[in-house]
Amino acid sequence: MPSIETKPVEDTISKVNDELAVGSDLQFQHKWWRFTHALWIFFGCVIVADLLGCFGRGPLANATAQTNDRTIQVKYERIERYAAPSILRIDFGPTAIHEGKIQFWVGESVIKALGAQRFIPQPEKSVVGQDGISYTFPCPDSPRR
């Protein structure tokens, strides 16, 4: 077997107290500090955006729409998460009540896009038509909030 010639490893980096080789690349360190600082700012902004509801379930994600006469008010989530249930709340004013009932029609396009998994309270009657579903809800004489 041929012998392999070895030579000692030489450090080009100066030693501190003749014990430890210390090297520094100040230019790289400044770039790294800027990078980590930018990352902290980015992740801080993501956390603040999440707390505000930019990714759903927060104050910025909730919205309200209503008719001009305030007969119907709809509270919904402006931002929804994939495969997560969402809540659509519809409040009816006193002028929407006729003979102790409220009738509400939902178009087929809305049902296909959003679905209708559960109603609270349950409708007294639902009738499927060609273009959607008509729901009838019992309502006391004076609306409650």
Helix runs in the chain, H state only = 26-52, 108-114
Lowest mean pLDDT among 10-24, 86-100, 130-144: 10-24
* DSSP letter (8 states) at residue 89: E
Q: Which pTM does this prediction carry?
A: 0.60
Q: Which two structure tokens, joined as six digits, stand for 49?
A: 């955006």
Q: What average pLDDT does range 96-115 have in this prediction?
A: 83
> In the prediction, which pLDDT does 30 show?
94
- Residue 21: pLDDT band (50, 70, 90) is low
% of the chain beyond a pLDDT of 70: 83
- Tell me what the pLDDT averaged over the chain comes to: 83
Contact yes or no for 139/118 (Cβ under 8 A): no
Integer angstrom CA distances of residue 60 from 86, 88, 99: 15, 16, 38
Write out the E strands in the chain.
Answer: 15-16, 20-21, 62-66, 72-77, 89-92, 101-107, 125-128, 132-138
Total residue count of the chain as it appears in this document: 145
125 compared with 12, residue with greater pLDDT: 125
Is the per-residue pLDDT at 96 higher than 90?
no
User: What CA–CA distance (Å, rounded) separates 114 from 84?
Assistant: 12
Please choose, from the candidates 109, 69, 64, 70, the residue with its C-alpha nearest in 3D space to the C-alpha of residue 87: 64
> In the prediction, which pLDDT does 55 show?
84
User: What CA–CA distance (Å, rounded) separates 145 from 94?
Assistant: 11
